[in-house]
Amino acid sequence: MTLAPTFSRITGTGSALPERVVSNDDLAADLATRGIETSHQWIVERTGILQRHIAETGINTSDLATQAAQKAIEKAGIQASDIDLIIVATSTPDYIFPSTACLVQASLGNQTAAAFDLQAVCSGFVYAMVTADSFIKAQRARCALVIGAEVFSRILDWNDRGTCVLFGDGAGAVILQASAEPGILAAGLHADGRQQHILCTAGQVSHGQVTGDPFLRMDGQAVFKQAVKVLEKSALDVLAQANMTVNDIDWLIPHQANVRILNFLAKKMGIHPDKLVVTLDSHANTSAASVPLALDVASRDGRIQPGQIVLLQGVGGGFTWGSVLLKV
């Protein structure tokens, strides 16, 4: 007897943002009290960011992840107890351990799913999707909850205007279920550890102390150049795997790092700017949460329609990058 092939399909999306919204003007006024100069104009012109959501003290990654998960579960029309795999992509976990995924599992009231965190910084959600897809294709899971969630505001040096204006907090989630129809059509994951220094938070907890540098550090221009270079190639690779071309893409959802990177990418690939989902203006860069947040926004506002082709792309620290091509 031959088994029917198993694919994985997104059956629900959800997202969550902290209540507190900090505009560029709010941020500039706050930084000015410490003698650091920035402006709404500089931030918009260089990045496209208008505002970000910042989690209040006491709100952690697991709280945002749980809220996003609850919405995805409701949208998929399943029960939390149906989930047999939980992956949380995050670089800002609540604790060193247990994993944020275990905290989410407990908050959801699920007692049977395998649960673990995955760390690939801003590529984390794409890495987690490919991992969950592989579990489903190998028939080791049938109903996965895949989350990208971050409180990057906690690892920012608020005295470094080159980085602190760029990031925000949030979470996005999807339910990925076994299906006779794809679903995920093609995927590719990549890393180049030689470039670890261009984007890093190189601190560690050791002997009861934080050693090294606990803040995010970035060579912005190096990251910018690298992101543009690798995203185009990664997109073309996954399209070729699926015997598709750029013209088949209905929606391009790259990691929301900088609107200049997104526009440059769309132009280089010959994709009309209207097919680009941009949430960076209101969320800023939420690292692993940015792609599922944008996916949820464009699904709920009716832009993404059943049967359409969507390309998700992550890129960030490590250096890591990857793409997932899917039919929704």
Instruction: For the CB of residue 164, give the shortest distance to ligand UT7 in the complex, in Å.
Output: 8
Q: Among this protein's residues, is 255 annotated catalytic?
A: yes
Q: Among this protein's residues, is 285 annotated catalytic?
A: yes
In angstroms, the CA 232 to CA 235 distance is 5
In angstroms, the CA 325 to CA 245 distance is 11
Scanning residues 32 to 61, which ones bind ligand UT7 (CB under 6 A)? 38, 42, 46-47
Binding of ligand UT7 by 122 (CB under 6 A): yes
In angstroms, the CA 259 to CA 264 distance is 8
Instruction: For the CB of residue 285, give the shortest distance to ligand UT7 in the complex, in Å.
Output: 5
Residue 99 tokens, joined? 């994993």
In angstroms, the CA 239 to CA 233 distance is 10
Residue number, 48 or 93, with CB nearest to ligand UT7:
48
Torsion of CA 191, 149, 303, 134, to 10 degrees: 50
Strands (E), 249-308: 251-254
Residue number, 193 or 307, with CB nearest to ligand UT7:
193
Scanning residues 159 to 178, which ones bind ligand UT7 (CB under 6 A)? 161-162, 165
Question: Which stretch of DSSP H or E encloses residue 135?
Answer: helix 124-137
CB 144 within 8 A of CB 8: yes
Q: Among this protein's residues, is 122 annotated catalytic?
A: yes
Instruction: For the CB of residue 108, give the shortest distance to ligand UT7 in the complex, in Å.
Output: 28
Instruction: For the CB of residue 61, give the shortest distance to ligand UT7 in the complex, in Å.
Output: 17
- Pick the catalytic residue: 24, 53, 102, 122? 122
Scanning residues 223 to 252, which ones bind ligand UT7 (CB under 6 A)? 223-224, 227
In angstroms, the CA 215 to CA 154 distance is 8
Residues taking part in catalysis: 122, 255, 285
Name the site residues for ligand UT7 (rule: CB under 6 A): 38, 42, 46-47, 122, 161-162, 165, 199, 218, 220-221, 223-224, 227, 257-258, 285, 316
